[in-house]
Amino acid sequence: MSFFRAFSSNNKGLERSRNRSKSRNRSENLFGIQKYSYYRDLAIQSGHCTISSELASLRRSRLHRSLYNLVYTPNDELNYFILYMESCSLSSHLKFILDVHVYEKIARENSSKSNDQQVAALSLFHRYLSIDAKYFIPMDDEIRRLTLSLICPSSNSTIPDPNCFQMAREQTWKSIEENAYPDYLSCPYHVNYQLKMLTSNQLQLHDIFHHSSSLSYFMEFAEQEQIVDLVRFWLAVEDFYQRTMNRMIDNQILSENALSIYDQYISLQARSRLGFDDAIRARIECSICQPDIDAGPSNDTFDQAAWIVYVILQREYFPRFLQSVPFYRHISDLMVKLRNDDASLTSRPTKTSEPDEISTHSDNPLLATSSPPPIDRTRQSRQRNPSVSSSTASLNQETASKSKGKFSMGYIDPLGRFIRDPDVDSIDGISSSNRKTSSNPIQFFSNLVRNEQEERAMEEAAALFAETFINEITSMTANIDNE
């Protein structure tokens, strides 16, 4: 019995090794994507079900929503957009769009209650469009007048027009789309949402494919994994689909585009052959070469092949991408961008001395052209009165002796004295080697700036102030020497 069991177990082991060798030989004979063990299941599944609807949900990215999807579809990014609109003092525009959307939805559902509709419409008008509105929205007088006439018709009917706010909504929407939305895509609020999305478990491959910035990092990963042809095929199919949806493109151009994709990825002689089976290849050929020459290829010509490629990329390579160096660099670049944006928002000049006022006006072209720079009347008085110059020199010497060799940032009072700024007292905590008085003030300030390398915004502010201050001291010294 034991011998039989040993023989049967050895026989089973031989069969298993024989089956493994057969499967290995079979996989070696396969080409391209057919090497994946589940390819046959994907081909069968995609051939027996309609996958166009499923692909439609994969043709958008949550990292870059359109304005319509951002406002009208349920998503967690709308809160970030609301915060941005509030920071720009444009929240009333967004509130008006959302309130009108709710009003029109209720008006369609309860068309019989005319009095309630008119009361609700008048409430919206007085809240946003009237001259004394609480959330006033700039609007053309003609649109405001027509909107009110549609809410309160001249006839005895009290039913307002269901589209009474259409013109006002279109003008407000155009203002948001042209002015606010493009700036939102590059603001810290949107970057913050992207970081949240990239680090969450909700991220999918189609979010990367339809976001140009993220796609560049994935293409770098694809080159490392040698799957660039799969990604390019998916992108080519998406471009073909968008062209088929554009009715302005001629069918002849669409046929040439489809043949180009077929010759590059599907054909047996393709330069970047992906290895689809004969059934899928024949179905694509029939869709491209239709009996009616003028009909052109259908928009689902490559849907089956594109769905198979997407599933393979999602299952095999997307988890690796989330653990790859390009993905981590993508997150790091966004964090650096967010930090720089926050630094640019928080770093504002706070000094009120004359040199700072001059630099502020010079940075703003509107202020520079509208008002002349302030005049240094202290310098003029020194040039007119030599006694003031001598007293100024003595006061400067007295201030320098009181400072005990500490040269710190501050401002010049009307008497020409250097007054230390209390906001920079913390600078004195630097090591004694950095606090030694240098004969060259530029070298001293460069050392100060070098100690703050991690704060770029502070570097720029300190360097600008140092340059202005040194120029002022140099000019004062030159005037004193001349006198």
User: Which has more confidence, 68 or 12?
Assistant: 68
**Does 240 lie in the same domain as 163?**
no
Residue 211 in any domain: the answer is no
Of all residues in the chain, what percent carry a pLDDT higher than 70? Answer: 62
Mean of pLDDT values over 432-455: 45
> Which of the listed residues 161, 184, 207 is the one where a domain comes to its end?
184
- Could you tell me what percent of the chain has a pLDDT over 90? 40
pLDDT of residue 161: 83
Domain-embedded: residue 122: yes
Q: How far apart are CA 255 and CA 287, in angstroms?
A: 10
Residue with tokens 């909107």: 147
- Directed axis angle between helix 39-48 and helix 303-312, to 10°? 140
Whether residue 458 is found in the same domain as residue 378: yes
* Residue 239 belongs to a domain: yes
Q: Count of residues for the chain?
A: 483
Residue 170 clears pLDDT 70, i.e. is over it: yes
- Tell whether 106 and 17 lie within a shared domain: no
Number of domains comprising the chain:
4
Read off φ and ψ for residue 318, nearest 5 degrees.
-65, -40
Q: Highest mean pLDDT range out of 58-72, 102-116, 419-433? A: 58-72
Q: What pLDDT does 32 receive?
A: 81
Q: Within 13 Å and on the Cβ side, how many CA atoms surround 348?
A: 5
Q: Classify residue 390: in a domain, yes or no.
A: yes
Distance CA 351, CA 348 (A): 9
Domain containing 107 equals 67-184
Note the pLDDT tens digit of each residue in 365-376: 333 333 333 434
Residue 371 resides in a domain = yes
Whether residue 358 sits in one domain with residue 323? no
Rounded to a whole number, what is the distance in angstroms from the first to the last CA of the chain? 122
Does 422 share its domain with 312?
no
Q: In the predicted model, what is the mean pLDDT of residues 237-266?
A: 88
CB 150 within 8 Å of CB 74: no
Segment among 249-253, 370-374, 460-464 with least mean pLDDT: 370-374
pLDDT, mean of residues 276-286: 91
Query: Could you read off the pLDDT of 379-428 as tens digits, one per residue?
Result: 343 343 433 344 344 434 444 444 444 444 565 665 555 565 554 444 44
Same domain flag for 288 and 359:
no
Residue 334 in any domain: the answer is: no
Last residue of some domain: 264, 292, 327?
Answer: 327
The CA–CA distances, whole Å, from 248 to 27, 244, 251, 253, 257 equal 45, 9, 9, 11, 15
Beta strands in 388-445, from DSSP E residues, in sequence order: 410-412, 418-420
Query: What pTM does this model have?
Result: 0.64
Token pair in block for residue 93: 């525009």
Q: CATH no. for residue 103?
A: 1.10.167.10
79 and 164 inside one domain: yes
Can you count the helices (H) and strands (E) in the chain? 26, 2
Binned at pLDDT 50, 70 and 90, residue 240 comes out as very high
Longest dimension (CA), the chain: 125
| pLDDT attached to residue 409 | 54
Do 360 and 321 have their domain in common? no
The predicted structure's pLDDT at residue 14: 41
State yes or no: pLDDT of 213 exceeds 70.
Answer: yes
pLDDT reading at 156 higher than 70 = no
User: Which band of pLDDT confidence, cut at 50, 70 and 90, is reported for residue 297?
Assistant: confident
Tell me the C-alpha to C-alpha distance, in Å, between residue 225 and each of 22, 39, 209, 235: 27, 19, 17, 17
Residue 160 lies in a domain: yes
Domain match, 232 and 293 both:
yes
pLDDT on residue 456: 61
Higher pLDDT, 292 or 322: 322
Q: Give the pLDDT mean for 184-192.
A: 94
Nearest to 179 by CA among 98, 78, 93, 69: 93
Same domain assignment for residues 79 and 17: no
One domain, residues 358 and 435? yes
Residues 273 and 379 in one domain: no
Please state, rounded to an integer, the average pLDDT across all residues of the chain.
75
pLDDT beyond 60 at 129: yes
| Within-domain flag for 92 | yes
Mean pLDDT of 223-230: 94
